[in-house]
Structure 1
Amino acid sequence: MKIDVVTIFPEMIRSGLSHSIIKRAQEAGRVQVAAHDPRDHTTDRHRSTDDTPYGGGAGMVMRPGPIFAAVESLEPPPDARIVMLTPQGKTLTQAMAHEFAQASHLILLCGHYEGFDERVREHLATDEISIGDYVLTGGELPALVLIDAVVRLLPGVLGSEESAAGDTFSDGLLEYPQYTRPPDFRGWTIPEVLLSGNHAAIANWRRKEQFRRTQSRRPDLWSAFQPSKSDLKLLKQLSEETPSPPAGESSEEN
């Protein structure tokens, strides 16, 4: 996969990708990532990438010329995904990360100030992505988030393919609790089933814990979840293990 980032702060991208799994993925040739400064495609002596908005108003707007020129210099293939990072975009999900991971070329556009000239949105970008309902000073951090979410899904990037398959949101549910040594820490012990060596029992316990966590913490995810036949059996067992509270009492802790 090839990922290009158009940003007036390319060092933010280069620094953010020079560590951990993303760095190793680049070194192994799983992904090629480069940052490009649209200032290199300006024509005035000040190398301006922004200007005042037509119609008046506060702030500055990213000019279309340098952005278009920077993208066109990359000679993207017809199927390239050109992604504008903007709070007005669709909120990034794990399913979307999987979709982007199938692309051969991603071009990420990082805005600043009051955002992009609307013609960038209308005639250049193929996608608009937000990482949440809040506003940041620029698109570099969202770009790094998107890169991280996508690259870790590429074949051979993680040490185990099961790591990504078991992630939170991978099947629409939150992940089950994880434990490691020691089995008894300050009197807090781990569930005995995890020490049993019974892989089927462990798998069932983990699945039930996914149900518990998602139900209590993310009812929005739970309402959209479609259980399989095996899930329905486990849900029945879970309801029998956790009886409903008496009428008038809440199951939530105070």
Structure 2
Amino acid sequence: MSHALALSGLAVILVGFLLRLQPLLVVAVAAAVTGLTGGMGPVEILAAFGKAFNTNRFVTVVYVVLPLIGLIERNGLQERARAVVAGMRGLSLGRLLAAYMLLRQISAGLGLVQVAGHPQTVRPLLAPMAETAADPDDTMPPPEREQVRALAAATDNIALFFGEDVFIAIGSILLMKGFLDQYGIVLEPLALSVWAIPTAICAFLIHGARLMWMDRRRAARSPSPFVLSEVEGRAPGESLEARASTGSARTGEGNRG
């Protein structure tokens, strides 16, 4: 009977998913119910949770960093990232993402996979920097802004996917070695990682060319500042505020005349 009650955790998962509750909470409650019905005490259940977390800490360590990233963002991390990019003249969206892709591939090839990523660098740093590089005046429409963010995330994915295989101790290399060993094909991890280098280079060249092409498209769509100046009736490089103050001064002179 006790063994049958231990399966009640499955019912908790089923009901929780049917009600569309928070998945992590549902799984945690199901595990607790399974432990209690299986004869475990609260302390033993908590110890089991801690052991599982410690055993798989390389997977869940990013969740420990998330509160820190959120705190830094709240104190102006994204604004500071935008300010840094705004001060770099000649830095385009394509050049920024290409430079990030190169650094990401090199770090992944050295085994530093968790140094960067979507929660660590893309959302708090790369995405706002890419938005500023694409639109320094902050006039980009929301759909285009989402495309820039997606491109930043895709750049990180591509760099990591093709860069991590260069490192011999990465899981994908070990998986390929184990799969080939089953069929009598003996290959050392170093041989697999060496042949991953040309693939990583090709990925960088292809995606880098795509980024440069997107830069050209954006430049072709953006009107010249001289054209905008003529349309708005102001000199090239003159700000709208300066133009407004000049117009007000002229209006005042006309009224006095």
TM-score range relative to shorter protein: under 0.3
Higher helix share: 2
User: TM-score, length-normalised on structure 1?
Assistant: 0.25
User: TM-score, length-normalised on structure 2?
Assistant: 0.25
Structure number with greater Rg is: 2
Which one has more relative contact order, counting CA pairs under 8 Å at least 6 apart?
A: 1
Higher strand share: 1
